[in-house]
Amino acid sequence: MALKELISKLPMEDLLNVQTRPFSNHSVEFKTPFTADERAKMLEEVGLNVFFFPSQMITGCDFLSDSGTTTMTSEQWAALHTGDEAYGSNRGYFKLMEQVQDVFGEKYFSDPTAGKPNAFIFHQGRAAEDALFSLIGRLGEGMIIPSNGHFDTTHANIEANGIKAVNLFSPELKKPGSLDLFKGNIDIDRLKELLEKSADKVPLIYVTITNNTGGGQPVSMENIKQVSDLARHYDIPFFIDACRFAENSWFIKKNEDAYKKTSIKDIVRKIFSYADGFTISFKKDGLSNMGGGFFAKSDGKFAKKYPELLDDMMNYQIIKEGHPTYGGLSGRDIMALATGLKTITKEEYLDYRIGQVQEFGESMKRKGLPVLTPTGGHAVYLDMNKFYEGTDMKPGDFGGISFTALLLAAYGHRACELGYFAFGSYDPETEEEHFPEVNFVRFAVPRLKYEKQDLESVAEAVKNIYDARQDIRPVDVVYGKELSLRHFKSRFKFRR
């Protein structure tokens, strides 16, 4: 019997549950052992603010962010060595140009040797946002930029330039028990309403894929097309915050019927065919530790409507970051980034990456933990309101902060409170706290870094804390409750 026939008699499908990873370890880093007591002492020293906790002492998993925390591939490490540190038009810049053209479409990166640049690289996403919105801000007064959910730095950069940042979250996002698969969508009815009333005040429409502020939920191709049609109708440029473009494309392939047979690369091309430009942090789906960018389609609405802004962008960049041909990046970073962009659209990578995050969410769910469902592409969100249901924990007790402190001290895992403290605010006049609608602790999973065993261990640790939730103490804010972006700066103490 031929080997092929023998194989055909073996059950192959069943193996899907225990599929091997599509890569193997090339190099690993051993952790330094620390005890729970040592961590607790250090955490108290830094005022229970996990941002100030030395990462060297994290013996478990670090979920503070998935931004710039990726494990690079051996190809990327090799590419670092070929970095060209020339002061203008380094080798990597042209490699990046080829790669951006290949992934997003040729018109997003014109060859600057042949004319004016329409692609600008920055050291991070927020630097690209600052450039864009400070230029847009000069166009007039009373402007509004609507979005399906502005990321916090995007929001801050827009408002810092006197423009109003409006979030039109999908109504499905707040519906309890909704099984909608594209909760990241923009509320198209409210967008229509806004445009009917004030289209002349809208310099850009923004869509964030995936919707990081909205629970990391994906946006459908249908929704993207609807926004694009509306933008065209009103002659407004349509921009994408593209940080997780590959992960969003994976969700479109899995959950939108028309795209089940389309390759990820073609889905990405299709998304960006609808847009006029995008900003991006390459620390997410650039599979890199550093990098950002602003890209305007050469024949898109932005380039046509605001040609002078592209000139201004070049001036801005030279003053603040460097020549457009290296942006804020070293030549080796550009090489690592160009190489990372090749890997990120591979289906086997995305199947594994998002599969891992989904399985992490499922594991928590199986343990009876209240997580936001469906799980998004890069993080699992624990709903702290449900977590503390039936206990005495009140909003002003900041139980999310207590939880992250306990998880880090006891088990060595670092997660991030994104709820009543991070998104809430204190009014010194009325001495009152204002609480946001959502109250999460986020576990953002770094790319290619952890194995199933690591994440299982975290789910168990969370379950142990959940079982002991009646005993968890509130915290008092001992410093910084009135500050902006306070969760990065504040200090806390457990209440006696």
Using CB under 6 A, list all residues that contact ligand PLP. 67, 124-126, 151, 153-154, 208, 212, 241, 243, 281, 283-284, 292
The strands making up 205-208's β-sheet, listed across from edge to edge, are 119-122, 292-296, 277-281, 238-241, 205-208, 144-147, 164-167
Minimum Å gap between C-beta 190 and ligand PLP is 20
Q: Which residue number, 405 or 416, has a Cβ lying nearer to ligand PLP? A: 416
Pairing of strands 205-208, 238-241: parallel
CB 292 within 8 A of CB 285: no
Closer to ligand PLP by CB, 208 or 339: give it: 208
- In the complex with ligand PLP, the residue whose CB is nearer, 211 or 363, is 211
Residue 146: CB minimum distance to ligand PLP, A:
16
Nearer to ligand PLP, 212 or 402 (CB): 212
User: Strand locations in 354-480, DSSP E?
Assistant: 379-383, 416-418, 425-427, 432-434, 440-444, 475-479
Q: Which is nearer to ligand PLP, 154 or 343 (CB)?
A: 154
Residue 112 or 184 with smaller CB distance to ligand PLP? 184
Nearest to ligand PLP of 281, 375 (CB atom)? 281
CB 276 within 8 A of CB 297: yes
Structure tokens, 93: 């810049």
Residue 175 buriedness (CB in 10 A; 0-12 / 13-18 / 19+): exposed
- Closest listed residue to residue 275, CA positions, set 322, 320, 315, 242: 242
Q: In the complex, what is the shortest distance from the CB of residue 81 to ligand PLP, in angstroms, rounded to a whole number?
A: 24
Give the CB-side neighbour count of residue 141, counting CA atoms within 13 A: 0
The beta strand positions in 209-298, using DSSP E, are 238-241, 277-281, 292-296
Task: Please report how close the Cβ of residue 168 comes to ligand PLP at its closest, in angstroms.
Answer: 16
Given the complex with ligand PLP, which of 67 and 71 has the nearer CB atom?
67
* Nearest CB to ligand PLP, comparing residues 124 and 363: 124
In this complex, which beta carbon is closest to ligand PLP, that of residue 130 or of residue 383? 130
Mind giving me the DSSP string for 45-63?
HTTT-GGGS-GGG--S-B-
Q: Cβ of residue 331: shortest distance to ligand PLP, in angstroms?
A: 19
Which pair of tokens denotes residue 441?
């602790």
Work out how close the CB of 152 gets to ligand PLP at its nearest, in angstroms, rounded to a whole number: 8
Q: How far is the CB of 336 from ligand PLP (least distance, A)?
A: 15
Minimum distance of ligand PLP from residue 477's CB (angstroms) = 25
Minimum separation from the CB atom of position 70 to ligand PLP (A): 12
Within 13 Å and on the Cβ side, how many CA atoms surround 262? 20
Helix axes 347-366 and 452-467, enclosed angle (nearest 10): 20
Residue nearest to ligand PLP (CB): 125
Min dist CB 282 to ligand PLP, Å, is 7
Task: Specify the 3-state DSSP secondary structure of 467.
Answer: helix
Rounded-to-integer distance, Cα 191 and Cα 182, Å? 17
Q: Residue 465: CA atoms inside 13 Å, Cβ hemisphere, count?
A: 29
Using DSSP's 3-state secondary structure scheme, residue 150 falls into coil
- What per-residue string of b and e applies to 442-451 under the rule 16 or more CB within 10 Å gives b? bbbbbbbebe
Which one, 39 or 283, has the nearer CB to ligand PLP?
283
Q: Are 430 and 76 in contact (CB under 8 A)?
A: no
Q: Which is nearer to ligand PLP, 376 or 480 (CB)?
A: 376
Q: Find out whether 350 and 250 touch, Cβ atoms under 8 Å.
A: yes
- Tell me if 216 sits within 8 A of 378, measured CB to CB: yes
- The phi and psi torsions of 392 (rounded to 5 degrees) equal -85, 0
Where would I find the H helices in 382-473? Answer: 384-387, 399-411, 452-467
3-class DSSP assignment, residue 383: strand
